[in-house]
Chain A
Amino acid sequence: MSSHDTQHIIEIHEQLHSDLPSDPALRVKALESLLVEKGLLNSQTVDEWIEMFTEEVGPKNGALVVARSWTDPAFRERLLENATEAINEMGFLGAQGSQMVVVENTPDIHNVVVCTLCSCYPWPVLGLPPAWYKSAAYRARVVRNPRGVLKEFGLELADDVKVRVWDSTSEMRYLVLPERPEGTEGMKMDQLASLVSRNSMVGTEKAGVGGSRSTAEE
Chain B
Amino acid sequence: MDGIHDMGGMQGFGTVEHEPEDKEPVFYTEWEARMRGISASLVGPPDTTLDWGRHVIECIPPGDYLSIEYYNKWYLEAAADYVNSGLATINELVTGKAESIPQGMDEPMLPEVVRAEFGRRERTSMPALHPEAFQIGAAVHTRQMTPPGHTRLPRYARGHTGRIHAFYGWHILPDANAHGEKRGEPLYSVAFRASELWPEDGGQNDHVYIDMWESYLEPA
Residues of A near any B CB (own CB < 8 A): 1-4, 6, 8-10, 12-17, 19-21, 24-25, 27-35, 37-42, 44-50, 52-54, 57, 93-96, 98-99, 101, 114, 116-119, 123-124, 127-128, 130-132, 134-147, 149, 152-153, 159-172, 197-199, 204, 210-211, 213-214, 217
Q: Is the CB of A20 within 8 A of B93?
A: yes
What is the bound-complex CA distance between A130 and B205, given in angstroms?
Answer: 28
Q: Which residues of the partner chain A approach B47 to less than 8 Å between Cβ atoms?
A: 1-2, 4
Q: Which residues of the partner chain B approach A37 to less than 8 Å between Cβ atoms?
A: 97-98, 101
Q: Which residues of the partner chain B approach A96 to less than 8 Å between Cβ atoms?
A: 122
Pairs A–B under 8 Å by Cβ, sample size 16: A2-B85, A6-B1, A12-B84, A13-B59, A16-B83, A24-B69, A24-B71, A38-B102, A116-B154, A128-B26, A130-B24, A132-B19, A139-B8, A153-B18, A164-B208, A171-B122
What is the bound-complex CA distance between A9 and B48, given in angstroms?
Answer: 13
Smallest beta-carbon distance B62→chain A, Å? 10
Q: Is the CB of B208 within 8 A of A165?
A: yes
> How does the 8 Å CB contact mask read for B130-153 relative to A, with 1 for contact and 0 for none?
000000000000000000111011
Q: Which residues of the partner chain B approach A152 to less than 8 Å between Cβ atoms?
A: 15-16, 18
Interface residue total, chain B, C-beta cutoff 8 A: 126
Q: Is the CB of B17 within 8 A of A40?
A: no
> How does the 8 Å CB contact mask read for B59-100 relative to A, with 1 for contact and 0 for none?
111001010111110011011110111111011111111100
Q: Is the CB of A163 within 8 A of B206?
A: yes
* CB closest residue in chain A, given B43: A40
> How does the 8 Å CB contact mask read for B2-19 relative to A, with 1 for contact and 0 for none?
000111111101111111
Q: Is the CB of A164 within 8 A of B209?
A: yes
Q: Is the CB of A30 within 8 A of B96?
A: yes
Q: Is the CB of A46 within 8 A of B61?
A: no
Q: Is the CB of B42 within 8 A of A29?
A: no
Residues of B near any A CB (own CB < 8 A): 1, 5-11, 13-22, 24, 26-31, 33-38, 40-43, 45, 47-48, 52, 54-57, 59-61, 64, 66, 68-72, 75-76, 78-81, 83-88, 90-98, 101-102, 105, 107-111, 114-115, 117-125, 148-150, 152-154, 156-157, 166, 168, 171-172, 174, 178-180, 187, 189, 194, 197-198, 201-203, 205-213
Number of A-B residue pairs with CB-CB distance less than 8 Å in the complex they form: 350
Q: Which residues of the partner chain B approach A214 to less than 8 Å between Cβ atoms?
A: 22
Q: Is the CB of A25 within 8 A of B209?
A: no
Q: Which residues of the partner chain B approach A127 to less than 8 Å between Cβ atoms?
A: 26
Q: Which residues of the partner chain A approach B156 to less than 8 Å between Cβ atoms?
A: 116, 143-144
The residue from A9, A95, A118 contacting B117, defined by CB atoms under 8 A apart: A95
Given contacts A117-B154, A199-B21, contact A169 B210 (CB under 8 A): yes
Q: Is the CB of B90 within 8 A of A15?
A: yes
The residue from B17, B179, B194 contacting A4, defined by CB atoms under 8 A apart: B179
